Amino acid sequence: MGDPRIWRRLETMMGTAGVRAHVRAIGFVSRLLPMFPSEPIDWVTQAPVIENVTYQTRDGEVREELYRPPGRGPYPAVLMCLGVVPFGVDHPQIPRLKAALARFGFVALIHWSPAMRDRRLVPEDIENIAAAYDYLLQRPDVDPARSGLFGTCVGGSFALLAAANPSIRDRVAFVGAFAPYSSMWTLARDIASRTRSNGGSHEPWPVDPLTRDVFVRSVTDTLDPSEAERLRQDCSRGHEIDVAELSVDGRAVHTLLAAPDRDAAESALQRLPQAMRDRLDAMSPVLHAQDIRAALILVGHDRDDLVIPVGESRRLASALSARAGARYTEYAMFQHADPTKRKLSPLRLVRELRRFYLSLYPMFRQAVA
């Protein structure tokens, strides 16, 4: 357990709020990334208080561990949405993330979507995330004026969508998205055709298996369960399927899944049933960007990402370019959202770490300092 007197002395020595925010952002990155030992940070910061909390969403009761700084607050809160991750909720990086946030001033809660755990994207999750955020704002130890949402991968896209939701959008001070997609339309086209945008042209894209699986499971989600399973088996194992035996909606989805190129994928998307097209619209942050009222919007992406192409975040950045509080950063140190799998020279790593911490600094400057 850290000695709070050490941190209070450091806070006094830091001087201005801007300096304190820089120190907190650097400390957070150092405590978060597994390439650094956590002990030095833990010596000079206070251990978080861990609470088992319960809140309601449209899908029912949710139980989760909340991490917060010791004391009465009020503190800024951040609701994290980690999207579809290839590991369990008990992965050691999960408590590390929440502890890093709490040690540097945030009440931290991660909302786990049952649908995303099942590798499906559903528009209903927008309301579920908004409900989880509303729960945070009702806590007496939370300051609503300094609180916000942050997400990674598709969780970043849904954090943006939740921030635009009428039930909470006037109470979101900041929203951040790391490696999000901008539009289900462009993402679906690129996955189906195995190509991605590159400036004004496009290039082959070796689609990550998890990305492909989430896409297939999501576009088949509204079909009859047995038909959805047949199409999923067809995609994953190459099982032959008699298209004539499919429903009208099933044939439309099959045409998309079997698209041989971008033009065919685009055509198949336009021919999807209206209910499916409405779902794609509902889950496309770029179509709802004008409804985000947060004063600070942070978007970041690794330029070599193979899970979600960087072009998705570039489109978001373009849509938000007129917003005074919108900031976009590209990195070259992550493999999607994992900083441990890229091998960089020491000098380049230092540069990328600096870029990463500076991209998070505005959040600490606004919320914590």
Residue 235 makes CB contacts below 8 A (sequence gap 6+) with 212, 216, 257
CATH 3.40.50.1820 boundaries in the chain: 4-181+296-367
Residue 333 is predicted with a pLDDT of 81
CA gap 320, 317 in Å, rounded = 5
3-state secondary structure of 300: strand
| 193-197 average pLDDT score | 92
| 33-48 average pLDDT score | 85
When the pLDDT of each residue in the chain is averaged and rounded to a whole number, the result is 91
Q: Residue with structure tokens 């067809």?
A: 234
CA gap 47, 249 in Å, rounded = 53
Answer whether residue 13 shows pLDDT above 90: no
- Asked whether the beta carbons of 297 and 180 are under 8 A apart, the reply is no
Answer whether residue 7 shows pLDDT above 70: no
CA gap 221, 217 in Å, rounded = 6
CATH of domain 4-181+296-367: 3.40.50.1820
Strands, E assignment, 153-253: 174-178, 195-198, 201-204
Helix (H) or strand (E) holding 28: helix 17-32
Nearest in space to 62 (alpha carbons), one of 165, 135, 138? 135
- Asked whether the beta carbons of 188 and 280 are under 8 A apart, the reply is yes
pTM for this model (two decimals): 0.93
CA gap 31, 78 in Å, rounded = 17
Answer whether residue 9 shows pLDDT above 70: no
By the 10 Å C-beta count (0-12 exposed, 13-18 middle, 19+ buried), 263 is classed as exposed
